[in-house]
Amino acid sequence: MIEKADQIFILLAHWLVSFLPASLQHPAMVLLGVVAIIATFPAIFALTVLLERKGLGRMQNRYGPNRVGPYGLFQPIADGLKSLTKEDIVPFNADAVVHFLAPVLLVVVVFMGYAVLPIGRNMTLVNMDAGLLFFFAIGASSELSVFMAGWSSRNKYSLLGAMRAVAQMISYEVPLLMSSVAVVMMTGSLSLNKIVDAQNQYTYGLPHWYVFTPWGFAGFVLFAIAATAETNRSPFDLPEGESELVAGYFTEYSGFKFALFFLGEYVGMMGISGLGATLFLGGYSAPLKMLEVVPSWIWFFAKIMLAMCAFIWVRGTLPRLRQDQLMNFAWKFVLPLTLLNLVVAGMWRFMGDGWLRWVVCSAVLLGAYVLMGRVGMRKENFGPRSYRYAE
Amino acid sequence: MLGEGILKGLGETARNFAGSFVSAERLTTVQYPEERIAPIEATRDFPFLVYDGEDWQAGMRCVACQICEKECPPKCIYIVKSTDKKPDALGKPQIYPARFDIDISVCMSCQICVEVCPFEAIKMDTEFELSTTDRFGGLLYDKKELSKSNEHYHKVHPTEAAEVDARLAEEKVKADAKAKAVAAAAAAKAAAPPAAAKPATPAVEKAAVVAPIPAAKAVEEETKG
């Protein structure tokens, strides 16, 4: 019974394709998986947007949307209808083809990342050996879409936003990868399924999640920071920067194309949350041995939603960084720590079992954190500002 | 240590988030169409014309002097004087506005019309739900739409309306006294010896015509003072 609930979608898909001739069954299975992903995640996106608007409202002591339907539950439908019925405006001087392709590319790329994510036990669309590599390669393409949008719009705000986005995404791509490399080192595999399997074990009923080790915890925090920057979320939302750049790279988008950017952003967030959960939080595995009765896919979605709530919480709390702070933080703080984390992961691997490796690894990481925070992030005093004018 | 402030900030937003579900005074939002707060007494938006008694046409205080029309900075008032006269609230025959239009899409709610009116005829209303489907005709208010009773004035601005009423009553007493004195003087002249009876008749007629004019002047002086 538990087994059936866990595998319900697989069994359902098998039952559905059993009506087809044998030669068509495999493509039909793949197609079903694609349709399921494309249907599920936008639905969660709608839910998340509502959650975000209501949650942010509560953080600011407001009600948030509560007019459409009971408790404002139909607000996403109203938003969707509105963006669908709005006029689609393309600037006269814009590069129409690229302008059209940018949001499409973003959505395609963002959904392709889900192909390798293990959503539940046996629920990976493509069980790739280099799944992690595929995810990052595809994820990096979203920068292309952002720059296409900014460049083709022929608008200074769009272009500035796109420039910022590319600079930011490339800077944070490095720590994002580096913090994941520690996991690859420990697992010895790029396959996301193997990474989950390595964490899906229990000692005294407690899971072997990587986040419960010193290097895993540090890696998780660094990954979370880099992922926030990578998805252009507040406090790293400089590319959108509505108080400075109107709407950043999608200033010139309206109607459904704007909605596609919005969708792409949130689905991308969910994708990277899913990856973070897979790498550090044990993917679809239950947090306690006795909770394994709950189907695995529920755990995966619960972890994604938890990550989304954290994103919303951070957005409701922190103000936007300045460009130089953003870059300093990436290159002077996050990147050195990820590099050190690789060394610590190696130490952890070769120090054998026992309490010593806990103490040493934790001390190294904590010491480095405090030291880097004191020295690297020190407020620099440049003295009074001086100006030199042209003769 | 680095990150301390972030944790403190996260705690603050978490407290706000949880607190908004628990304590009602955190949520200061008034859910407008269902909930309302009573407007403060000094609230004002657009002018209306005050009338006394039941009939808005008979009781209208406005005498179409056009001072408000001339003073209005955005020129949103349009008045056409009547050609005939009609007794006003005090019973004197007065000109009345044949047309009195205010375009509230132009009005800037400055209250200058109220300040210059010598007859306490135009006052500020507090009605703000004025949306209409017709942006031209729907926002151009004519005499009938602008007329509201003195009771309505008492309802929206009680203190101010009481002051105005006291002032008007005082003026009425003064005007009555003056009219009485004039009438008495005329009667005394009429009661003079019959030798003077012949020139007395035009004097009485003259008194009857002249009587209202000083009274009106007195009212004007009172309000200006």
pLDDT tens digits along B76-132:
999 998 888 887 766 778 888 889 999 988 999 999 999 998 888 899 988 888 888
Residues of A in contact with B32 (CB under 8 A): none
| Cβ count near B109 (within 10 Å) | 12
Chain B window 18-37: which residues touch A at a Cβ cutoff of 8 Å?
Answer: 19-21, 26-29, 31
Look up the domain containing A126 and give its range: 86-375
The answer to whether the CB atoms of B1 and A373 lie below 8 A apart is: yes
**pLDDT grade for B193, boundaries at 50, 70 and 90:** low
Distance from CA of B126 to the nearest CA of A (A): 27
Chain A CA closest to residue B34:
A67
What is the number of domains present in chain A?
Answer: 1
Closest approach of B29 to chain A, Cα-based (Å): 7
Q: What is the pLDDT of residue A343?
A: 92
Residue B213 CB-half CA count within 13 A: 5
How much is the pLDDT for A223?
Answer: 93
- What is the assigned CATH class of domain B47-156? alpha beta
B87 touches chain A (CB under 8 A): no
Does the complex come out with an ipTM higher than 0.85?
A: no
CB spacing of A58 vs B21 below 8 angstroms? yes
Across the interface, of B1, B16, B31, the residue whose CB is closest to A59 is: B16
> B16 to chain A nearest CA, in Å?
5
* Chain A contact set for B29 (CB, 8 A): 62-63
* A332 Cβ neighbours under 8 A, 6+ residues apart: A372, A376, A377
Domain-located, residue A160 = yes
Question: φ and ψ at B95, to 5 degrees?
Answer: -70, 150
A59 CB neighbours in chain B (<8 A) are 13, 16-17, 20
Nearest by CB to A317, from B13, B27, B28: name it: B13
Domain assignment present for residue A380? The answer is no
Per the DSSP assignment, residues forming a β-bridge with B80 are B99
Q: Would residue A238 count as lying in a domain? A: yes
**Measured between CA atoms, how close is A57 to chain B, in angstroms?**
8
Proportion of chain B above pLDDT 90, given as a percent? 15
Query: B195 falls in which pLDDT band (50, 70, 90)?
Result: low
Distance from CA of A379 to the nearest CA of B (A): 12
Q: Indicate the residue of B14, B26, B31 with minimum beta-carbon distance to A61.
A: B26
Q: How far is B42 from chain A (nearest CA, A)?
A: 28
Amino acid symbol at A305: M
- CA distance linking residue A37 with residue A48, whole number of Å: 16
Q: Is A55 on the interface with B (CB under 8 A)?
A: yes
Of B125, B79, B121, B84, residue with least CA distance to B100: B79
* Residues linked to residue B50 through DSSP beta bridges, in sequence order: B148
Taking an 8 Å cut-off on Cβ atoms, the answer to whether A373 and B3 are in contact is yes
Residues of chain A with pLDDT under 50: none
**A319 chain-B contacts, CB cut-off 8 A:** none
Q: Say whether residue A67 is in contact with chain B using an 8 A CB cutoff.
A: no
Spacing of C-alpha A134 from chain mean position: 15
Nearest to B17 among A59, A63, A372 (CB): A59
Q: What Cα–Cα distance (Å) separates residue A165 from each residue in A23, A80, B54?
A: 45, 26, 70
* pLDDT value for B90: 65
The interface residues of chain A toward chain B in range 308-327, judged by CB-CB distance below 8 A, are 313-314, 316-318
Query: B211 pLDDT exceeds 60?
Result: no
Strands (E), chain A: 202-203, 206-207
Q: Which two tokens stand for residue B106?
A: 């132009």
Decide if A372 touches B, using CB distance below 8 A: yes
At B210, the pLDDT band (50, 70, 90 cuts) reads: very low
Q: Which residue of chain B comes nearest to A329, CA vs CA?
A: B2
CB–CB of A121/A196 below 8 Å? no
Residue B208 or B117, more confident: B117
Question: CA neighbours within 13 Å on the CB side: how many for A113?
Answer: 28
What is the spatial distance between Cα A252 and Cα A88, in angstroms, rounded to a whole number? Answer: 10
Q: Cβ contact (<8 Å) for A61 and B19?
A: yes
A30 CA: distance to closest CA in chain B (Å): 42
A156-187 and A192-199 helices, crossing angle to 10°: 50
Distance CA A107, CA A249 (A): 15
DSSP-assigned letters across all residues of B30-96? --TTT---PPPTT---SEEEEE-SS-TTTSB------HHHHH-TT--EEEEEEEEEEE-TTS-EEEE
Contacting residues of B for A318, CB less than 8 Å apart? 6, 9
**CA distances for A337 relative to A271, A278, A340, angstroms:** 24, 21, 5
Which residues, 6+ apart, have CB-to-CB distance to B146 below 8 Å?
B47, B48, B49, B100, B102
Distance from CA of A138 to the nearest CA of B (A): 32
Residues B206, B178: contact at Cβ < 8 Å? no
**Is pLDDT above 60 for B197?**
no
Instruction: Give the span between the Cα atoms of A100 and B213, in whole angstroms.
Output: 79
Question: Which positions ≥6 away from A331 have C-beta within 8 Å?
Answer: A171
CB contact under 8 A, B20 and A372: no
Torsion of CA B22, B23, B26, B28, to 10 degrees: 100
Q: What is the DSSP string of A151-166?
A: HHTT-HHHHHHHHHHH
Residue B209 burial (C-beta neighbours within 10 Å; 0-12, 13-18, 19+): exposed
Backbone angles phi, psi at B94, to 5 degrees: -140, 155
- Residue A166 to residues A79, A144, A169, B55, B128, Cα–Cα distance (Å): 29, 8, 5, 74, 49
Which of A62, A317, A333 to probe by mutation at the B interface, max B CB count within 10 Å?
A317
The reported pLDDT for the residue numbered B89 is 63
Tokens representing residue A206 in the block: 């407690």
Q: Rounded to two decimals, what is the model's pTM?
A: 0.76
Across A382-386, B68-72, B153-157, least confident range: A382-386
Q: How many CA atoms lie within 13 A of A102 on its CB side?
A: 31
The reply to whether A3 falls in a domain is no
Across all residues in chain B, what is the average pLDDT?
Answer: 81
Chain B positions touching A316 (Cβ under 8 A) are: 13, 17
**Domain boundaries in chain B?**
47-156, 164-224
Chain A residues within an 8 Å CB radius of B15: none
**Which residues of A fall within a CB distance of 8 Å from B17?**
55, 58-59, 316
Render B129-197 in DSSP notation, one character per residue: ----S-TTGGGEE-HHHHEEEHHHHHHHSHHHHHHHHHHHHHHHHHHHHHHHHHHHHHHHHHTS-GGGH
Residue A66 confidence (pLDDT): 87
Answer yes or no: do A62 and B12 touch at CB < 8 A. no
Which pLDDT value is given to residue B52?
Answer: 85
Distances (CA, A) of B102 to B36, B113, B124: 28, 11, 12
Residue A31 domain flag: no
| CA neighbor of A135 nearest in space, from A174, A109, A166, A164 | A109
Angle, helices A22-59/A255-280, rounded to nearest 10 degrees? 100
CB contacts < 8 Å between A and B, how many? 44
In sequence order, which residues have a C-beta less than 8 Å from that of residue A143 and are 6 or more positions away? A165, A166, A169, A170
Joined tokens for residue B100: 């009195």
User: Token pair for residue A76?
Assistant: 């996403």
pLDDT of residue B217 exceeding 80, the answer is no
Q: Which of B9, B13, B29 is the closest to A62 by Cβ? A: B29
Among B112, B117, B123, which residue's Cα sits nearest to residue B51? B123
